[in-house]
Amino acid sequence: MRRVAILGSTGSIGVNALNVARELPEELRVVALAAHSNVELLARQAAEFGAKAVAMFEPKAAEDLKRRLDGGVEHFASGVEGLCALASHPDVDVVLTSLVGGVGFAPLLAAVRAGKTVALANKEPKVMAAAQFMREAERWQARIIPVDSEPSAIFQCVQGLHPDPRAAAPLKTIRRVILTASGGAFGKYKGDLSAVTPEQALRHPTWKMGRKITVDCATLMNKGFELIEIMNLFGLRRDQVEIVIHPQSIFHSGVEFSDGSVLAQMGEPDMRLPIQYGMTFPRRAGRVVEPLDLVKAGSLEFKAPDFERFPCLALAREAAGKGGGAPAVLSAADEVAVEAFLAGRIKFTDIARVVERALAAYEVSGGLPSFAEVVEIDAWARRKAEEACR
Ligand code: NDP
Ligand code: MG
């Protein structure tokens, strides 16, 4: 029985994680829940799953929640400290981080330093300091299990090689990985991308997800984030990760080994599977998702990405190559730019321009920045990106 904390339980990943936990009561017990301000839903979740600890980022929301819940819940918290307290709570074995944005940085660090198993969905912190988090996890004997269909696919493909993910880097017998991307809302769109609206960008063809990541899929920045994550998780060079557009999202990603053999993980596009694996790892529990139906899928297509039409992917590759704090700049600038696009302040094609400006202004110096330095770089990049938006 795993005792699970879900940070971001009211979002797309969080709700799916609870759907999995509901189906696997013998495997998973939900003990802690946190969100930003959705008191209504979090209160219902806490009552249904009998959570012992809850946190709302917004202090007012936390008070509201306290008034609504009686009995059962022993620990109420708010702010980043509240999220960190849940992430390191002694009664928690697995922390699923499904917050959105850089706000998840401190809670992830708290979970790692408490030696937890982290089922990691929240992308932005791992892009900000992927190498540092891998190192820190080793130091504190924490485990980081990727919860994202493609990184999870690669992680699953290498399990036969190294049952212990902490021993995974560098996996010498990996020649390259094949990282697939759906192509996002504009994968098949032939029109002018500078004129597309947030509403169009939020229409993803295969996945139903939160707003930020759906826009990141439309710009292909999301794939760039995954590139950085995978390089660090598996100790790979940039040229060992081949990005392939695969609109059906069935071949979730694959690994080519030294002898040329390719293993892939496949399934219907359903986040519950990587979420479940992240929470039950290394066990495989019973099936919650629909079985894969290849005949129904018909044909699977693959093509090369267009780096010119989707410059965010090229920028992510550049940041991966630059190293140092460049990935942190990439993530922070993207967060600001996506917010500005969704608010109607900038055009879709400006997202890449804003990120490019911030990256161009950043100079890599010294080795890998410390966690404290990453926080400073993040704040600096947000200011640069804000300026560029204006
Ligand atoms: P959503 O926008 O659907 O959900 C975000 C969740 O985080 C909500 O529960 C929200 O709470 C909470 N949250 C936001 N800000 C804060 C804060 N400051 N403090 C506490 N809680 C906060 O996002 P997704 O579920 O789509 O994505 C979550 C993360 O997982 C992202 O980093 C994304 O890149 C990654 N991911 C998502 C995938 C998906 O399929 N959705 C796939 C792979 C990765 P509230 O409801 O109260 O606002
Ligand atoms: Mg993904």
The string of DSSP codes covering 140-168 is TT-EEEE-SHHHHHHHHHTTTT-SSGGG-
d(CA 54, CA 268): 32
> Domains of the chain (ranges plus CATH)?
2-146 (3.40.50.720), 147-183+220-305 (no CATH)
How remote is the CA of residue 11 from the centroid of ligand 1, in Å?
Answer: 5
Beta-carbon-side half-sphere exposure of residue 356 (alpha carbons within 13 Å):
10
CA-angle at 52, arms to 46 and 57, nearest 5°: 65
DSSP 25: T
Please state, for a pLDDT cut of 70, what percent of the chain lies above it. Answer: 97
Whole-number Å distance between alpha carbons of 226 and 151: 7
pLDDT at 18: 98
Is the shortest distance between the CB of 124 and ligand 1 below 6 Å?
A: yes
Residues of the chain where predicted confidence (pLDDT) is lower than 50: 163-164, 166-170
Q: Identify the pLDDT of residue 169.
A: 47
- Provide the pLDDT for residue 139: 97
Cα–Cα dist 86/107, whole Å: 8
Tell me, in angstroms, the distance from the centre of ligand 1 to residue 102's CA: 11
Beta strands per DSSP E along the chain: 2-7, 28-35, 53-56, 75-78, 94-97, 117-120, 143-146, 174-181, 241-245, 251-257, 262-266
Q: Which two tokens stand for residue 188?
A: 């098949």
pLDDT at 163: 46
Could you tell me if the CB of 99 is within 6 A of ligand 1? yes
Look up residue 375 and give its amino acid.
Answer: V
Mutational pocket test of ligand 1: of 38, 64, 99, the residue with most ligand atoms within 8 Å of the beta carbon:
99
- Reported as a single tens digit per residue, the pLDDT across 163-207 is 445 444 446 789 999 999 999 999 999 999 999 999 999 998 888
pTM equals 0.95
Question: Are residues 106 and 117 in contact, defined by beta-carbon separation less than 8 angstroms?
Answer: no
Which helix or strand (DSSP H or E) is residue 7 part of? strand 2-7
What does the alpha-carbon distance between residue 349 and residue 87 come to, in Å, rounded to a whole number?
Answer: 37
Question: By the 8 A CB rule, do 234 and 158 touch?
Answer: yes
Q: Which two tokens stand for residue 82?
A: 């509240």
Q: What is the pLDDT of residue 161?
A: 72
Of 213, 208, 206, 190, whose CA–CA distance to 247 is shortest? 206
In this prediction, residue 162 carries a pLDDT of: 54
Q: Which amino acid is at 52?
A: K
User: Phi-psi region for residue 73, left (φ > 0), alpha (ψ -120 to 50) or beta?
Assistant: beta
CB-CB contact of 36 with 63 (8 Å): no
Residue nearest to atom 16 of ligand 1 (CA): 36
Residue 269 CB less than 6 A away from ligand 1: no
- In short, whether 225's Cβ falls inside 6 Å of ligand 1 is no
Q: Evaluate whether 121 touches 97 at the Cβ level (below 8 Å).
A: yes
**pLDDT at residue 278, rounded to an integer:** 98
pLDDT of residue 171: 64
Ligand 1 in reach of 46 Cβ (< 6 A): no
Is the shortest distance between the CB of 12 and ligand 1 below 6 Å? yes
Q: How far is the CA of 8 from the centre of ligand 1 (A)?
A: 6
What angle separates helix 350-361 from helix 211-219, to the nearest 10 degrees? 80
